[in-house]
Chains A and B, each alone.
Chain A
Amino acid sequence: MRLKLFIFTALLALVSCEVIIGQDELVDEVSGLFTIEGRVSPPDSLFSPIQGGGRSAPVNKNAPKWHTEITLSINDGEFKGFVREDGQFMISGVPSGSYILDVHHPDVFYEPVRVEINPKGKFRARKVNFVQPAQIMQVPYPLRVKPLMPFKYFQTREQWKITDFLFSPMVLMMVLPLLLMLVLPKMINDPETKKEIDNLQFPKMGNDMPEISEMLTSLLTGKQPEPKEKKPAPAVRQAKKRKDQ
């Protein structure tokens, strides 16, 4: 079997892939240092199912860089692990204890894992829970670290849309009464009620309207409205109203 492996590698002429990692277990026990092992899935494994199959997906030019971008560290770089081309990693020379393995990639979130090694060299891996440390949720060991989601660092800019504009409360507040004012009177078919409304509304409006329009015209043309003309106007209208009655 071993010979076969040798031939296989020789044929492939790849030196790197099939190297045996690690040392005899015996040495570990003597020195009291242990090796944490596992495998990291590359960050693009997160996107490949969406893109529909690995082959049709466009080749990510940054893909080979993930080996150097990803860091596996314990206690802020006291112990570190580096990723091989196939995603396997090992952190050697770790004394027994409880550690949090931080897997950090700048663009993709990997969940940290708590790894516990007892003095006999038994490994246990579990989910990190800072708030309730007594709650134990075990995960398989050797570790399999998978990307969870891409980091969302940025806010999306608001884009201007006509619907946003139309449904904004300000516009609604202005448009709805306008609609009511213009459309409602026309919807009423009965001529008598129409007349009634006409009679009810116009005198009131009439009192204000000329003044506003006059003010506007005076403002825009610069002419002072003559007070003499203004005073008889309501009187005329009042007379008109009486006539109607």
Chain B
Amino acid sequence: MQEKWLLAGLSVALLLGTCSALYEDQIKKFDWRGVNVGALKQSRVDLNHFQPRILVSTHEGVVASLCVKTGELVWRQVLEQKPRGDIKLLQVSGFSDDSSETAAAPMGSNLGFDMLTVQGHAPALVRGWNTNMGALEWEWSIMPINTERAQDALWIYSKSVLYHVLPAWRSHLEVTAYFASSGHSTGSTSKVIAPWITQESCTLSGTFYVCTEGKQLISLDLVSKSGQVIRTSLETEPKGKTQALMGLNGVVIVDGKPISVNKDQSICGGLQSSSYAVGSFNYRKILAYADLSSGILRINALYLDNCAPAADLEQSLVFPEHFGTPSLNNFDCKQKRNGEGKNCMFLFSTTSESIVAVQQGRVRWSREEALANVIDSQFVDLPLADSEGTLENEMKGKAGDFTSFERDIASAFLRRITTQAVQIRSLFLHVIGLGPPPTDTQRAGLVRDSFGLHKMLVLLTRAGKIFGIDNVSGKHHWQLYLSNVIGFANDEQMRLIVQRSAKHFPLQPLCTILGKNAVNGNGVLYRFNPITGKVAEGGLVQLDYKIKQLSLLGETENDFVKGILLLDASNKVHVYPEHATPLADGMYLYTADVKSAELAGYFVKYAGGQLSSTHIWNARLGGHNSEQQIIGVAGKNPIEHVHSQGRVLGDRSVLYKYINPNLVAFVTQAPDSTHKSVLNLYLVDVVSGSVVFTMTHRKVRAPLSIVHSENWLAYSYFNEKLRRTEITTIELYEGKTQANSSVWSSLQAPPMPLVERQSYILPTIVEALRETITERGITNKHVLIGTASGSIVEMPWHLLDPRRPIASTTQGREEGAIPYIPELPLPTESHINYNQTVARLRNIYTAPSGLESTCLVVATGLDLFVTRVAPSKTFDLLKEDFDYILISIVLVALTSGSLIVKHLASRKLLKQAWK
């Protein structure tokens, strides 16, 4: 019986699921994917391999091989999440810090490798990779006895042996050697007494452990048997931290100067630069260094054996500002038999997390790895074409007020005639080639299309780099880099806000970024035009207070800018821009402290030209011993429209939805002695501070994702007892009558809502949840589920509906609800990104398009995926495969048929008449 139900339910579900699948010929038609690796950590440019490549390891825990010519990925392996995936060492065979380049062991000795990585600390994993195809060759791991101390462990490679260096601060160093590719220990751990070592002052350069102490460097050769302490005196006391110079054994960089502590390794004196790298050129070792000064990047090099400058390699180029400050990571030169190799490639990592390859005095290619950490996104409408702009102006004049329109119908007619005349003139001028040149944005094809599907996707990244990307083609139109701006306290990221949309022609749209100054912690505002990427209305503004909370106000009347209401650390309120201050009167704000799980509500009042805030309510969600911490907050999308106010039941009565725009969901989690972990959900009206609904889950833990929209809420979590991911859905209803259908007021609180709830099993780990959103809210809402494997699954709300009946009732059937089944299917047809998976999927953003049926989607993570979805199919568009030929054939056939029949009928009539 149960199975029968299951089958029935499944078939219904499958039917529903297939309704929104893609066609195979739609691949890449309106979706694209960007593949990233993350900010560069270590790299190895290899131009002399039979297959030139660049091997990289990144801060995101990725190892990859890049194509030398274009910078595209040849292969990529995404390692574990941090801390396990934190790459400590990347060693490529044939490159070693030692002068004897015999890293590759003899063939067949079980000790060879192409490339090895060491990652994590407890346990530390050592992996050997095949660099041609990215397959694993071997793997071994060690588990240190003291896991906490192991965090500071360092690894070095020398002559097919890996050394694990474990410092015990202010005491000693433990050095253990392992055969690199087998993991067998070569002997016992040796202890080196070194009471001077501290975390801040020491680095490992090749096999030398170098520490600064006052005006001298104290170093130890960890590999040599003698264990001699070498002291090198410096001219001045170092200001910054010492850095190792990769590629030279026992050379450190102190305040931009390379200093050798190894008596076998000499280094040229009198050098001063921000970044160095070692490589070989014409079979001689060279030291290259690069500096950026007033926008010009200069690369210099000298031979290490005689300190003569290598003039062939010197070059300078204009370095675009949006890359930030570069630092030379690695380089290589193509070796030629006649010794005239000039073709060198320099690989830079920059502060804006880009990877830039410089060759022959120009930027050969660059990779924007900041996109691996997108923290906010907005879709901005493109500007109108000029001709449409004037038309818009005219319409606006009409819509202004209707009474005046009635009166001067003559002037309106005149205006219409003049605009049309102007249009004809401009068209004529355009044809003969004398018209005004098209603007930059128009030349770039950035003109609004008739359906509003073509938009500018503005992405804000954690590194402070902002991108303007075409959502259809994926082209990067502009980049901006904000240095020294970081996210807020309380784990809040920077924010990207649209202050003025593109609707107000001829005013340009305006975006604002809110962040925190990295130096003094005060708030920072940055205003720019999202279409051109140019600074607008003052650009960077340094505030003299810390931002605690922010909110958007309504539009001002004169320039249509939405003001930003800011609450500072001392609970004072500010509005930016200032002329929007009166609009803040009567606003409510709330704050939530993640650690203590405390909520606070404020009321903003404008009186006598002064803004003031009053603390009006307080809620402590911390539990009786304040163990609970907030792990999730979800409000509703402020641009959401709710089209249907209720739900028609089986008996034709209406169940009205409880649509409270001020409702915010808070989820807290705390460890528990009996239930392992407890999760609490609170639905709080953030204006009045009243708790509308609470729910507790026991033996349940993060990862948690929430989506909150209209009158419903869905959140996923991991059930520890049954070891599976579950999703709980809640719907709120006012009941059969509606308290006030026109205005919502949180203060005249309506009665507590009726709550419907249900839980389902999801056969995957959920990374992100998001609802689709459309212009008017008429289209059905689907929930986009981002899974751990990087797929995005479109799930209709019908399937998540908490009113799905458990037993088949006529009432349920009348309502159109599907019978309950515990496990929700994830049919492959509803994977909107088919095989274009998004590695480390973190968030999904949605935005309405100009078409009611269509919703724009961007999924972020390590990769980026942009597409559009139509939850109720494109009901407002003619189908793509609409058969124009068939319909014209049918039309022609019908008309000709009717003509022939008419002729025949008249003949027959005539014959009959003659009878």
Which stretch (A50-58, A99-107, A137-145, A189-197) binds chain B? A99-107
* A68, B108: Cβ atoms closer than 8 Å: no
CA separation between A84 and B460, bound complex, in Å?
A: 38
| Contact call A68/B75, Cβ cutoff below 8 A | yes
Q: Among the listed A21, A92, A157, which residue makes an inter-chain contact with B23, where contact means beta carbons less than 8 Å apart?
A: A157
Do B107 and A160 touch across chains, with their CB atoms under 8 A apart? no
Identify which of B22, B138, B763, B822 contacts A21 (C-beta below 8 A): B138
Whether the pair B724, A130 counts as a contact (CB closer than 8 A) is yes
Q: What sequence of 0s and 1s flags, for each residue 115-140 of chain B, a beta carbon within 8 Å of any chain A beta carbon?
A: 00000100101011010011111111
Contact across chains for B23 and A15 when beta carbons are under 8 A apart:
no
Q: How far is the CA of A26 from the CA of B125 in the complex (A)?
A: 17
Nearest chain-A residue to B24 (Cβ)?
A: A154
The answer to whether B182 and A20 have CB atoms under 8 Å apart is yes
Minimum CB–CB distance for B51 against chain A, Å: 13
Chain B: CB-nearest residue to A151? B828
Binary contact readout B783-822 vs A (1 if CB under 8 angstroms, 0 otherwise): 0000011100000000000000000000000000000001
Is the pair A67, B886 in contact by a Cβ cutoff of 8 Å? no
B909–A153 touching, CB < 8 Å: no
* CB-defined contacts of B136 to chain A, threshold 8 Å: 67, 82-84, 89
| Residues of chain B with a CB closer than 8 A to A80's CB | 79-80, 85
Tell me if B80 and A78 are in contact (CB < 8 A): yes
A106 proximity list for chain B (CB < 8 A): 835-837
> How many B residues, CB 8 Å from partner?
69
* Contact pick for B22, options A84, A102, A154, CB 8 Å: A154
Beta-carbon nearest neighbor of A105 in chain B = B835
- Closest residue of chain B to A100 (Cβ to Cβ) is B723
Interface flags for B265-296 (1: CB within 8 Å of A; 0: not) read: 00000000000000000000000000000000
A47 at the interface (CB under 8 A from B): no
B25–A157 contact, CB under 8 A? Answer: yes
Residue B489 at the chain A interface, CB threshold 8 Å: no
Residue of A35, A82, A130 most packed against chain B (CB within 10 A):
A130
Interface check B21, CB cutoff 8 A: yes
Q: Is the CB of B75 within 8 A of A131?
A: no
Say whether A1 faces chain B, with CB atoms less than 8 Å apart.
Answer: no
Residue of A16, A153, A209 touching B21 (CB-CB under 8 A): A153
Report the separation of the CA atoms of residues A19 and B788 in the bound assembly, to the nearest whole angstrom.
Answer: 32
> For window 861-893 of chain B, which residues contact chain A by CB distance below 8 Å?
881, 883, 886
In the bound assembly, the distance between CA atoms of A104 and B136 in angstroms comes to 17
What is the distance, in angstroms, from B546's C-beta to the closest C-beta of chain A?
35
Q: Say yes or no: B767 contacts A68, CB within 8 Å.
A: no
Question: Nearest Cβ distance between residue B656 and chain A, in whole angstroms?
Answer: 35
Question: Is B767 a contact partner of A76 (Cβ separation < 8 A)?
Answer: yes
Given A154-B23, A213-B906: A71 and B789 interface contact (C-beta under 8 Å): yes
A153 in contact with B724 (CB, 8 Å): no
CB distance from B59 to the nearest CB of A (A): 16
Query: Are A220 and B902 in contact (CB-based, < 8 A)?
Result: yes
B829–A210 touching, CB < 8 Å? no
Known A-B contacts A76-B703, A77-B80; A213 and B763 likewise in contact (beta carbons under 8 Å): no
B81 within 8 Å of A (CB atoms): yes
CB within 8 Å of A: which B689-744 residues: 703, 722-724
What is the chain B residue whose CB lies nearest that of A233? B913
Any B CB within 8 A of the CB of A224: no
- Bound-state CA distance A33–B123 (Å) is 9
Q: Which of B134-155 contact A (CB under 8 A)?
A: 134-143
CB contacts (< 8 Å) of B500 on chain A: these are: none
Distance (whole angstroms) from the CB of A154 to the closest CB of chain B:
4
Please tell me if the beta carbons of B135 and A15 are within 8 angstroms of each other in the complex: no
Looking at the complex, which one of A27, A67, A151 makes contact with B135 (CB distance below 8 Å)? A67
A9-B108 contact given A16-B137, A31-B123, A67-B135, CB 8 Å threshold: yes
B74 to chain A: closest residue by CB: A68
Known: A15-B107, A18-B110, A130-B724. A152 touches B828 (CB 8 A): yes
The answer to whether B789 touches A156 (Cβ under 8 A) is no
Contact call A10/B108, Cβ cutoff below 8 A? yes
**B123: A residues at CB distance < 8 A:** 31, 33, 92-93
Q: A23: CB under 8 A from chain B?
A: yes
Interface membership of B550, Cβ < 8 A? no
Return chain A residues, CB-CB under 8 Å to B142.
23, 27
Are the C-beta atoms of A68 and B902 separated by less than 8 Å?
Answer: no
Cα(A22)–Cα(B136), bound, Å? 13
Which residue of chain B is the closest to A202 with respect to CB atoms?
A: B912
A154: which B residues are within 8 A, CB to CB? 21-24, 829, 834
Residues of B within 8 A of A89 (CB): 136
Which residues from chain B contact A19 at a C-beta distance below 8 Å? 110, 128, 137-138, 181-182
A157 to B24, CA, bound (A): 8
User: Within the complex, which residue of B25, B84, B133, B835 is in contact with A153, where a contact is CB–CB below 8 Å?
Assistant: B835
* Complexed CA–CA distance, A78 and B718 (Å): 15
Question: Are the CB atoms of A104 and B789 closer together than 8 Å?
Answer: yes
Q: Which residues of A contact B789 (CB under 8 A)?
A: 71, 73, 102, 104
A239 at the interface (CB under 8 A from B): no
Q: Is B848 an interface residue (CB 8 A)?
A: no
Task: Give the residues in chain B near A153, CB-CB below 8 Å.
Answer: 21-22, 828-829, 831, 834-835
Closest A residue to B767 using CB positions:
A76
Report the minimum CB–CB distance from B316 to chain A (whole Å): 38
State whether B835 touches A151 (Cβ < 8 A): yes
Would you call B492 an interface residue if the criterion is a C-beta within 8 Å of the partner chain's C-beta atoms?
no
Residues of A within 8 A of B143 (CB): 27, 30-31, 33, 93
Please tell me if the beta carbons of B886 and A65 are within 8 angstroms of each other in the complex: no
Q: How far is the CA of A216 from the CA of B906 in the complex (A)?
A: 10
Instruction: Report if A158 contacts B (CB, 8 A).
Output: yes
Please, which residues of chain A bring their CB within 8 A of the CB of B902?
A: 213, 216-217, 220
Query: Does B77 interact with chain A (Cβ within 8 Å)?
Result: yes
A68 to B74 Cα, complex, angstroms: 10
Instruction: Please indicate the chain B residues that have their CB under 8 angstroms from the CB of A31 in the complex.
Output: 123, 143
- Cβ of B823 under 8 Å from chain A: yes
CB of A168 within 8 Å of the partner chain: no
State which of B112, B137, B788 has its C-beta within 8 Å of the C-beta of A73.
Answer: B788
Residues 7-40 (chain A) with a chain B CB within 8 angstroms: 9-13, 15-16, 18-23, 27, 30-31, 33, 35
List chain A residues, Cβ under 8 A from B18. Answer: 155
The reply to whether B724 and A133 contact each other, CB–CB distance below 8 Å, is: yes
Cβ of B909 and Cβ of A210 under 8 Å apart? yes
Q: Does B310 make an interface contact (CB < 8 A)?
A: no
Chain A residues positioned under 8 Å from B765 (CB to CB): 75-76, 102
**Is A90 positioned at the interface, with any CB of B under 8 Å from its CB?**
yes
Using Cβ atoms and an 8 Å threshold, which residues of chain A touch B134? Answer: 67-68
A227 CB, min distance to chain B CBs, angstroms: 18
**Is A98 at the interface (CB under 8 A from chain B)?**
yes
- The answer to whether B138 touches A93 (Cβ under 8 A) is no
* Complex contacts, B467 vs chain A, CB 8 Å: none
Contact among B110, B130, B823 with A131 in the assembled complex (CB-CB below 8 Å): B823
- From A21, A65, A102, A217, B906 is in contact (CB under 8 Å) with A217
Check B909 against A213 for contact (C-beta < 8 Å): yes
* CB nearest neighbor in B for A240: B915
Give Cα A152 to B23, complex, Å.
11
When distances are taken between beta carbons in the complex, the residues of chain B under 8 Å from A92 are: 123, 125, 139-141
Chain B contacts for A210, CB-based, 8 A: 909
Within the complex, the shortest CB–CB distance from A100 to chain B, in Å, comes to: 8
Assuming the contacts A130-B761, A153-B834, asked whether A13 and B107 have C-beta atoms less than 8 A apart, the reply is: yes
Given A9-B108, A77-B788, A133-B722, residue A157 in contact with residue B881 (CB < 8 A): yes
Measured between alpha carbons, how far is A89 from B767 in the docked complex, in Å? 25
30 contacts between A and B (CB under 8 A): A10-B108, A15-B112, A16-B137, A19-B128, A19-B137, A19-B138, A21-B139, A23-B141, A27-B143, A33-B141, A68-B75, A68-B76, A68-B77, A71-B78, A76-B765, A78-B80, A80-B85, A83-B135, A93-B84, A93-B143, A106-B836, A130-B823, A152-B828, A153-B22, A155-B23, A155-B24, A155-B829, A157-B881, A160-B883, A217-B902
Beyond A80-B85, A210-B909, list 4 extra A-B contacts (CB 8 Å): A9-B110, A90-B139, A151-B834, A155-B21
7 cross-chain pairs, A with B, having the tightest CB-CB distances, nearest first: A10-B108, A106-B835, A31-B143, A67-B135, A93-B123, A153-B834, A82-B136
